[in-house]
């Protein structure tokens, strides 16, 4: 590896490290009973764990390495674009344009061959057309829902999110495989009552 490539890789890793500082709306319960915001990097780790646990549970033949690659890159654009809350219509309306512009910066920081490879993975995740992308998307949606359940629905209540609001977001994940449908149903059951208002 030549010096310029090595420097570019190290600079990109420093850029990607900023994902640890991008806060999401989801809350992480702490041992003392308080909560703090989840970061996008923590979210990606949790997705990777979900994928590891579920890839052999679903009917589709999932290439775990490929699914994990999609998961690793799917939120990298957030180091420039920030996280867009799933239940923020105004933010969602501008999300695609903001993330495309961010992708130019983030993946453009890499040597051209690596930048193209990682951008293609990000685009594959966004398009959701492969089995691995659909699987990764289902893990992504389920993780956000799980995080809200683990924090007793605090972020949902903070933002006035209702059960009806969550249905369109969760339906594509439930449709990926009966395993996701069953797990998400159990999460809805756990969220019954005041955690996720009707």
Name the CATH superfamily housing domain 3-195.
Hypothetical protein af1432 (1.10.3210.10)
* pLDDT tens readout for residues 156-167: 999 999 999 999
Residue 17, classed as helix, strand or coil, is: helix
For residues 79 and 92, give the distance between their C-alpha atoms in angstroms, rounded to a whole number.
17
Domain boundaries, the chain: 3-195
* pLDDT tens readout for residues 5-54: 999 999 999 999 999 999 999 999 999 999 999 999 999 999 999 999 99
* pLDDT tens readout for residues 111-129: 999 999 999 999 999 999 9
For residues 64 and 33, give the distance between their C-alpha atoms in angstroms, rounded to a whole number.
35
The CA–CA distances, whole Å, from 133 to 101, 123, 140, 149 equal 22, 10, 10, 24
Going by pLDDT thresholds of 50, 70 and 90, the confidence category of residue 197 is confident
Mean pLDDT, the chain, integer: 96
pLDDT above 70 coverage of the chain, percent: 100
Predicted TM-score (pTM) of this structure: 0.95
In the chain, % helix, strand, coil (3-state, to 5) comes to 70, 5, 25
The CA–CA distances, whole Å, from 24 to 42, 99, 108, 120, 153 equal 10, 16, 24, 24, 14
The C-alpha angle 16, 19, 24, rounded to 5 degrees, equals 160
Average pLDDT (137-144) is: 97
pLDDT for the residue 34: 92
pLDDT above 90 (res 198): no
For residues 129 and 27, give the distance between their C-alpha atoms in angstroms, rounded to a whole number.
30
Average pLDDT (66-84) is: 97
Report the 10 Å Cβ neighbour count for 32.
Answer: 6
Report the 10 Å Cβ neighbour count for 128.
Answer: 15
């Amino acid at each position: 590896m030549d010096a310029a490539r090595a420097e570019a890789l190290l600079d990109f890793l420093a850029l990607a490290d900023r994902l640890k500082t991008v806060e999401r709306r989801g809350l992480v319960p702490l041992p003392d009973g308080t909560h703090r915001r989840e970061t996008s990097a923590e979210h990606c780790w949790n997705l990777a764990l979900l994928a590891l646990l579920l890839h052999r549970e679903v009917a589709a033949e999932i290439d775990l390495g490929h699914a994990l690659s999609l998961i690793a890159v799917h939120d990298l654009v957030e180091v420039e674009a920030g996280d867009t809350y799933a239940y923020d219509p105004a933010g969602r309306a501008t999300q695609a344009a903001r993330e495309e512009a961010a992708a130019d910066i983030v993946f453009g920081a890499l040597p051209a061959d690596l930048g193209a490879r990682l951008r293609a993975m990000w685009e594959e995740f966004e398009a959701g057309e492969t089995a691995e992308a659909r699987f990764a998307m289902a893990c992504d949606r389920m993780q956000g829902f799980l995080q809200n359940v683990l924090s007793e629905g605090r972020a949902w209540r903070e933002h006035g999110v209702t059960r009806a609001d969550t249905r369109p977001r969760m339906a594509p994940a439930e449709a990926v495989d009966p395993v996701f449908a069953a797990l998400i149903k159990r999460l809805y059951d756990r969220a019954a009552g005041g955690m996720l208002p009707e």
